Structure 1
Amino acid sequence: MKWHVLTPFLQARHELWMTEHLQRHQFNIVPAHYLHDPLRARASLSDWGDFMRQNARAHRESRRTEGLLTAFPPLALTAAAMKTLTRRSGPLVAWTFNLGGLYGGLKQRLASQVLRSVDAFVVHSRQEVRNYSAWLDLPEDRFHYVPLGRELQDPWLEEDREQPFVLAMGSANRDWPTLLKAVQGLGYRTVIVAPARTLEGLALPPQVEVLSGLSREACRALCQRATLNVVPIANLQTASGQVALIEAMMFGRAVVATRCPGTEDIVRDGENGLLVPAGDAPALAERLQALWLDAAWRARLGAAARVHVHAHLSVAAECARMQVMLDRWA
């Protein structure tokens, strides 16, 4: 089967994605030819125009029976619309179908109608299978859980024992109010890496420092040096915070995360990390304090976390699942 690949992050045909590791299929990268702000909360009209033009190029370059493989919901939505309008018969697979939240009204009804032409949705949490199925009024067997994979990297820095700190990173659906309440009484130095706008209007305890605009390498360095990594989430409908969570675990660091879609599939509470109820500042403070005072426990959780990531959450593991998925149409 020949597939035409549409992602917002591949800018040229020679750039590589997971598809380079797959067999028995051909892949045509349809370049994005645009650069959107990844931190923007919503796509603009101009952004949607870019998505439509990318899909139009894919349709010009493909036969009606060939497949379309998209990454992220906006390209899946525009591809589904064009598939319906042009009456394509080839499969449409929507990889990494992850919305920041579920909405209602006209937008929901429109999405439900347009996305019926998607043959398979790939999501990165088990809960999303049920939630998206109900939200779109589509059968659950149209949705497939595939754990998110990351390029594996070995740690190169040790925990900073001279100036210990709690670290929380991210921009989408972070529960900063609960984190701030939890660390306020503890007094531990806390570093938050996030766009400043996401903390507007919040009172920061004196020991909290906010950093923005850091490079990926700088974020990974902080992740390794931190005494504790925290992923506080304010989203109980769809998956959020998985990248920050997986990378901390990949480096063998102890993590505390909100129990929610996505984290529940990655963290085995008490085995490779700790989970706390959503919005429960006292529970979060209790877990942070317990880990802060017990270096041996942190080391055990971190070691188990690293083993889990290497075994189940690598790009190679996600590629193997993509191979199985696309082979349905081989």
Structure 2
Amino acid sequence: MGGVPKRKVQTLMLWTVAAPFFTAGDEGDRWLDDLVDAPAHRFLKIPAAPARGGDWHRRAMRATPVGQWLRHWRQSARALAQGDGVVTVFPQLALTAAIQRRIGRRDGPIVAWCFNIGRFPTGWKRRVARFFLRSVDMFVVHSRGELALLRDRLMIDEARICFVPLQRAAVPILANEETEAPFALAMGSANRDYATLYEACRRTGLPLTLVAARHALPAEPPPPNVTLRSDLDPAACLRLAQQARVSIVPLADVAAASGQITMVEAMRMGRPLIVTDAIGSRDYVVDGATGLLVPPRDPAALAAAMRRLWDDAALRTRLADAARRFAGESLSDEAAAAALTRILDTVAARRKG
């Protein structure tokens, strides 16, 4: 399928929206539904129970713990009970809602937004996921490469999958580029290839700041020109990203969609990017136009791209300006909300028909 459907519907629908970052009465609960201006759709946010151990965004565990699954289960149950249809954010809530719809014989549609699976289940877990995910009416992914992955690995009909670019609101400018002591920046912990980045840094000698959880780092110590940082709050991360001369997103598994939040935020801030060529980056970074793409696990190519962008101020400006324009036009909250409206129209029309 690969595009956003455009059918329209007039039947009034109350959609409950469940996201793990929703908390009752919190301004942080603002999401795309707040930007939808369509009389056919109303929305009710369903908050999650408070997480033990702090902010779920910053947890260091790679797998979803049992306690978190229980929170998803309770949140999706409330969402199914209170609306005509459900919009979930992230795969875990989509799966718990799909299971409950199947076993509870509920009829309301489910739209699984941001269905980005880093590592697909195998064996019996995959068979269980395939069975219950048949209850989902539409999956929204943020890279075109995921269309085939969901079709082939989870047996999902491509008519039930949409590609919508990952969005980010305009980012507040907190700092200017550091010119007296310039540095490159790499940030993030999911599916990162920091071993290749370490070797590229050894070859270039360029100063680099690396912000990542401990589990994402290689066992070997970093080169002397790499400074490790961790446990920074979001404002500190944004400040570093705006101060950096170059932003680098090295990816390990090129068949997994990851690193997109870091890419999109850098583009929104107008920062020059170097990104591994992978399914999650090709829909955002056009090589030589909005950034530089480098082949995976190739320290020589990464080092050459780092040196090229570091030394060429005109190239940095050209790429950064083009990235900012593209992000403002195509990766904004408003663009994603328009896509959400069209998807809900289509799902509701299919149900009515």
Match of 1:21 among 32, 35, 38: 35
Residue pair 1:96, 1:122 contacting (<8 A) in 2 also: yes
1:45 lines up with 2:59 in the alignment:
no
User: Judging changes above 3 Å, is the alpha-carbon distance between structure 1 residues 50 and 154 closer, same or farther for their aligned structure 2 residues?
Assistant: closer
User: Judging changes above 3 Å, is the alpha-carbon distance between structure 1 residues 11 and 47 closer, same or farther for their aligned structure 2 residues?
Assistant: same
**CA apart distance, 1:182:** 0.7
- Alpha-carbon separation, structure 2, partners of 1:241 and 1:191: 17
- The match for 1:5 is 17
**CA apart distance, 1:126:** 0.3
Look up the equivalent residue of 1:31 and give its one-letter code.
P
Residue pair 1:164, 1:227 contacting (<8 A) in 2 also: yes
TM-score, normalised by the number of residues in structure 2: 0.89
- Alpha-carbon separation, structure 1, partners of 2:220 and 2:327: 34
> In percent, how many aligned pairs have the same letter?
41
Match of 1:131 among 146, 149, 156: 149
- Alpha-carbon separation, structure 1, partners of 2:154 and 2:215: 31
Match of 1:229 among 247, 264, 277: 247
**Structure 1: runs of 5+ lacking an equivalent:** none
Match of 1:121 among 109, 119, 139: 139
- The match for 1:54 is 75
**CA apart distance, 1:154:** 5.2
Look up the equivalent residue of 1:55 and give its one-letter code.
S
- Alpha-carbon separation, structure 1, partners of 2:182 and 2:238: 16
Look up the equivalent residue of 2:106 and give its one-letter code.
R
CA RMSD of aligned residues (A): 1.4
TM-score, normalised by the number of residues in structure 1: 0.95
**CA apart distance, 1:307:** 0.6
Look up the equivalent residue of 2:22 and give its one-letter code.
L
- Alpha-carbon separation, structure 2, partners of 1:199 and 1:92: 37
1:91 lines up with 2:105 in the alignment:
no
**Structure 2: runs of 5+ lacking an equivalent:** 1-12
Match of 2:280 among 262, 269, 288: 262
Q: Secondary structure at the match of 2:265?
A: helix
Look up the equivalent residue of 1:9 and give its one-letter code.
F
- Alpha-carbon separation, structure 2, partners of 1:103 and 1:262: 19
Greater RCO between the two (CA within 8 Å, min separation 6)? Answer: 2
- Alpha-carbon separation, structure 2, partners of 1:193 and 1:269: 25
**CA apart distance, 1:98:** 0.7
Look up the equivalent residue of 1:3 and give its one-letter code.
W
- Alpha-carbon separation, structure 1, partners of 2:82 and 2:107: 15
CA deviations 1:58-90 (Å, max 9, x no partner) are 23334xxx1011000000000000010111222
Match of 1:324 among 334, 338, 342: 342
- The match for 1:214 is 232
Q: Secondary structure at the match of 1:265?
A: coil
- The match for 2:197 is 179
- Alpha-carbon separation, structure 1, partners of 2:86 and 2:269: 35
Match of 2:332 among 296, 314, 329: 314
- Alpha-carbon separation, structure 2, partners of 1:238 and 1:200: 19
Match of 1:34 among 27, 50, 64: 50
Look up the equivalent residue of 2:72 and give its one-letter code.
F
**CA apart distance, 1:225:** 1.1
